[in-house]
Amino acid sequence: MRLVFAGTPETALPSLRALLDSPRHEVVAVVTRPDAQSGRGRKVHPSPVAELAEESGIEVLRPVKAGDPAFLDRLRALEPDCCAVVAYGALLPQAALDIPRHGWVNLHFSILPAWRGAAPVQHAVLHGDEITGATTFRIVKELDAGPVFGVVTEEVRPGDTSGALLERLSVSGAGLLAATLDGIEDGKLEARPQPSEGVSLAPKISVEDARVDWSAPAMRIDRLIRACTPGPGAWAEFRGQRVKLGPVRVAAGEERLAPGELAAGKHRVLAGTATDPVELGEVQPQGKRLMSAVEWARGVRPEARECLR
């Protein structure tokens, strides 16, 4: 089939590579978000998907909005049989959805109808799901509610960050997307409506959402920090300065500390919660490099009963 691929971040690269390597399909163009500032120097860079497409000699479309008339005209001229979508990052108007004869097929990183929305993997980790997965479905106007073509499942491991889990799902999901498009071309794959029960929403997790509440149980804090790693990054305040926090370990059975209270030793740093303390991993003080919690504590020398807030 003639395909147009829509995607933006690194998460989409395994799927784009799988389709570029497929002998059954031709990727005639890529749709991605406009070039944006990134990195410490805040220089303007193309998206990872745009870079791979350009390296592969494929046309790159960067509409500010997917409803722009010039973009819609170009999409019609390309005459795609189907448009594949992985983490594109913008809404698609009905005028765009109507162009390919097989519609737009999205790879979503949850087992729908669970975790519809922008941050399904983060919410799976945050809520302690033991199993998650990826789903291919036909895009409709309602958010992530279209009929489903296929599903793959993935175990959520005890120490998974959202970044580690998403990396595995992006690979297994790429195989699912390629198989889905093969089945559509063969005429043997039928999309089935999502069940009406079990719907849950996964809105974007903001920087404010990522602030650690030390009055929460240790398990909740562990999940929040892993869900926010690598982005947006969990954090707390110490002496009025923001400190970014990497994954922690629940120190079960240790003597209780007040919420946020620090106990710095030679080889570890504990912080109090509503239940067991947690052992801090890596931290990044505001304006400084990433370091171990022990190294950080050696520098700041927490006083008795001093707390993260």
Is 38 flagged in the annotation as binding? no
Instruction: Please return the burial class of 125, using the count of CB atoms within 10 Å of its CB with bins 0-12, 13-18 and 19+.
Output: buried
Is 206 flagged in the annotation as binding? no
CA distance linking residue 44 with residue 205, whole number of Å: 25
Is 58 flagged in the annotation as binding? no
**Helix axis angle, 13-21 to 162-186, nearest 10°:** 30
Is 22 flagged in the annotation as binding? no
**Residue whose C-alpha is closest to residue 4's, from 66, 67, 78, 64:** 78
DSSP 206-218: PTTTTB--TTS-H
Residue 7 · residue 49 · CB < 8 Å: yes
Task: Dihedral sign for Cα 84, 90, 96, 97, please.
Answer: positive
Dihedral angle of Cα 278, 281, 282, 286, to the nearest 10 degrees: 10
DSSP letter at 307 equals B
For residue 86 the two structure tokens come to 């992985």
Residues annotated within the binding site for (6S)-5,6,7,8-tetrahydrofolate are: 110-113
Residues making up the binding site: 110-113
